[in-house]
Structure 1
């Protein structure tokens, strides 16, 4: 397996396909998944001639099941180390959900020349949790419920999330794909319980406002209007406004996991943005 070892001794697993001199596209997965969540996009963009890279965030997938460092500053630092190790230049960073937060946190800190563009898909910025400054957010009790469910029976929780709101399979008339539910469960159970528990705080309470303001490169913000995990109104439109060079694209009726359920819609739009 391909890994790098970070300064604190954590092994970060990654996939790196395609010509080393081609433009890199780096994919950042959501919680509690792995690089495998990007299989469709990795194959699509590899066939288009890009160099495609996806890593397992620390504590997720095949990376070290970390007890510490499961927060956005360290996630971004890990990406900085990965980009340096692979000598990534002029890369497009695409993040889904928690991975979108990781992209925002990384791109705001990246070395000059490393990043050409970024994409936030169903992403958590600016901030998810409700507060006086974010009245439209989700109450902390929602995330406390996630933590309680994970601690009580992680295996069952990781069936209920994809079988219900993640892919919109709980909507009337939805076509349920059991393979997607099983694959979500498989990815989740590969990771570490402690890291996944900590990451709930990271994706829900981190405020990415200053990151978004600091980003100069073009950013495409893609979000489904029927996202039941990261509600649309308190995320995508607000993030797009904070960006200096942001474009908002809304997908009517699509769920949180729309990259997986509707790649025939998402992939061409990603390609058009990258080539623009």
Structure 2
């Protein structure tokens, strides 16, 4: 397991598989590199190089008290990309990882990025404000923070079935649900809450309008974590020439339940 140090001396774990054109996978809120187990082998077999990172406070990385804002996390991603000198990257971000990707593009530009995939991303802007009346009220955000502080394991466990939209016939074993919960709980409480708040308060609308590279947006119509009308459909309206794909039975965990469809759609993007 290799590690690297960020510009503020935080030690982060990353994984690097295969050769060929690079795909960088950016994990969901509360999850780490392990979430991509159904994507990485597929793309390595297709001749791609797959790079993954455990963001600070997640997985096997250092657990600092600070740095869970999207600016810092985007800079962490930039440090890894620069260290490995990756170019012509297809970058894939899930959920809050999509926010990290958008923030990376805003802060570091598209010089190293060839294509972008935003999967069930919590974009473009979640906070309810005067110019974003469809957003989520702040009291809802803070109620979630309080619930995480009161009983974090119960909060995740109570949402597992909805995460995978099993009520629509998506088959997910109890063992797989259990390991996903364990992965979520391996993130620090500080990191979990810090990233939750940052994802909620960050307005990505200006930066999304500036994306010029080919972009794929994938979202589940049954996503309870990032409702599609608030996120995926609005994001597709902001990015010029984006390809938008909506999975009718997809929940937030479509990287598991719809892995074959997702892999094929990501492959189509990467091979453009």
Pair 1:159-2:157 in alignment: yes
Q: In structure 1, what is the equivalent of residue 2 of structure 2?
A: 2
TM-score (norm 1): 0.94
The answer to whether the 8 A contact 1:62-1:191 is kept is no
Q: What stretches of structure 2 of length at least 5 have no aligned partner?
A: none
Change (3 A) 1:129 1:112: closer
Tell me which moved more, 147-156 or 33-42.
147-156
Of 225, 228, 233, the residue aligned with 2:229 is 233
Q: In structure 2, what is the equivalent of residue 54 of structure 1?
A: 52
CA drift at 1:187:
1.0
Per-residue deviation, residues 152-178 of structure 1 (Å, max 9, x unmatched): 12222232222x321113x26554421
The answer to whether the 8 A contact 1:3-1:11 is kept is yes
The answer to whether the 8 A contact 2:110-2:213 is kept is no
Pair 1:92-2:86 in alignment: no
The answer to whether the 8 A contact 1:66-1:192 is kept is no
Q: In structure 2, what is the equivalent of residue 250 of structure 1?
A: 246
SS in 1 for 2:37: helix
Measured in 2, the distance between the counterparts of 1:175 and 1:27 equals 24
Q: In structure 2, what is the equivalent of residue 27 of structure 1?
A: 25
SS in 2 for 1:40: coil
Tell me which moved more, 183-192 or 36-45.
183-192
SS in 2 for 1:256: coil
Measured in 1, the distance between the counterparts of 2:175 and 2:215 equals 32
Q: What stretches of structure 1 of length at least 5 have no aligned partner?
A: none
The answer to whether the 8 A contact 2:124-2:203 is kept is yes
Measured in 2, the distance between the counterparts of 1:166 and 1:134 equals 25
Q: In structure 2, what is the equivalent of residue 259 of structure 1?
A: 255
Which stretches of structure 1, 4 residues or longer, exceed 6 Å deviation after superposition?
Answer: none
Tell me which moved more, 43-52 or 108-117.
108-117
Per-residue deviation, residues 233-258 of structure 1 (Å, max 9, x unmatched): 11112212211332211111211111
Measured in 2, the distance between the counterparts of 1:121 and 1:151 equals 28
The answer to whether the 8 A contact 2:172-2:257 is kept is no
Measured in 1, the distance between the counterparts of 2:152 and 2:33 equals 20
How many correspondences in the alignment? Answer: 272
Q: In structure 1, what is the equivalent of residue 73 of structure 2?
A: 75
Per-residue deviation, residues 81-105 of structure 1 (Å, max 9, x unmatched): 0100011000000001001111111
Measured in 2, the distance between the counterparts of 1:216 and 1:178 equals 41
CA drift at 1:262:
1.2
Q: In structure 1, what is the equivalent of residue 39 of structure 2?
A: 41
CA drift at 1:114:
0.8
Q: Please list, as runs of the form range in 1=range in 2, the aligned pairs for 1:123-142 lying within 5 A after superposition.
A: 123-142=121-140
